[in-house]
Amino acid sequence: MAVVNSISRNSLAHSIVAAGAWILLLAVASFAGQPATISLYRDPAELVRKAVQNEIKAATDDSARFLFRGTKTTPQGSTTRLYVETKEATAGLVIAYNGIPLTPEQRRAEEARVERFIDHPEELKKKREQERASAERTLRIVRALPDAFLFEYAGEEQGSDAIGRAGETLMKLKFRPNPHYQPPSHVEEVLTGMQGYVLVDAAHYRLAVIDGTLFKEAGFGWGILGHLDPGGRFTVQQEELDDNLWEISSMSVNFTGKILLFKSLSISSTETFTGFKRVPSDLTFAQALELLKKEEASVDADNFCCHTRTTNE
């Protein structure tokens, strides 16, 4: 349950230091689910399990790739990027800081930064491996959700333009740790200290929202040792772009803690994603960069303030 600032629909890879990668477990694509049965409404855990199965299947389906815009806002300001997903890795290009388009000098420097992946294939390979590793960690957390938590019905809400299907009923399920769950590794350990709620499209088995809060100190492991302090919170939202086509619409995260047992960790950011456009599934990284340059040239700078996925670049 995102996460370099190159983002993948399937992995949304984000360094734990920069933006709490572990929250990106909802970074998934669309899957055409089957209608929910009445029995599922009586069994929230089974409904979540069905939805998780869909999310996992979608996360491993890379047939649909997109160009989109993301704006990440932190206490230090905002950064707007354009992204293009490719078969090699995700290309990301900064186009504005605090809603102000880049100067010609900044634009040249930003394009050179991205072009290094083309000029140095070993860098692109490293980037691809980082995204793959993050995706694998994400899938491990997603798979753990039905077993790691206990769920209970907490009412219904209506979908909106940014949450689920607009006007469609979403089931609200509260969750808390399952006392019998034993994390198989440090990757899943953070789930033992979390509680909150999810909004589920029960007709199509989609997770529209997950809102989690740490109620106790939680350890984590991504090749490092550390913990997150109680009170940290994250929210991830998905929306339907088209019939049975869903994407992450926003993420927010606020955590403090320690890395390597002594280095302080402070994460506070909100990132929103808009302007999704399908691109060819066989697009190369070099082709993506050219597409990003063309898209940047057509961007209306006046709209930067109105567009606000956690990323990995």
CA 255 vs CA 16, 137, 218, 233, 235: distances in Å: 11, 20, 11, 6, 12
pLDDT at 107 over 50: yes
Answer for the pair 199, 164: CB distance below 8 angstroms, yes or no.
Answer: yes
Chain centroid to Cα 264, Å, comes to: 24
Mode of pairing for the β-strands spanning 77-85 and 65-74:
antiparallel
Per the prediction, the chain carries an average pLDDT of: 80
- Give the tens place of pLDDT for each residue, 252-291: 999 888 887 678 888 899 999 999 999 998 999 999 999 9
Pairwise CA distance, residues 196 & 176, whole Å: 7
Residue ranges making up the domain that contains 47: 16-306
- Please return the burial class of 127, using the count of CB atoms within 10 Å of its CB with bins 0-12, 13-18 and 19+: buried
- Averaged pLDDT for residues 217-236: 77
135 within a domain of the structure (yes/no) = yes
91 or 247: which leads in pLDDT: 91
Among the residue ranges 22-31, 144-153, 283-292, the one predicted with the least confidence is 22-31
145 within a domain of the structure (yes/no) = yes
pLDDT the model gives residue 222: 52
pTM of the predicted structure, to 2 decimals: 0.77
8 within a domain of the structure (yes/no) = no
Angle in degrees, CA 22, 215, 272, rounded to 5: 40
Chain centroid to Cα 293, Å, comes to: 24
Where does the pLDDT of residue 305 fall: very low under 50, low under 70, confident under 90, or very high at 90 and above? very low
1 within a domain of the structure (yes/no) = no
Answer for the pair 99, 112: CB distance below 8 angstroms, yes or no.
Answer: no
Q: How many domains does the chain have?
A: 1
Among the residue ranges 69-83, 147-161, 299-313, the one predicted with the least confidence is 299-313
108 within a domain of the structure (yes/no) = yes
209 within a domain of the structure (yes/no) = yes
- Give the tens place of pLDDT for each residue, 49-77: 999 998 888 777 777 889 999 999 999 99
pLDDT the model gives residue 100: 95
313 within a domain of the structure (yes/no) = no
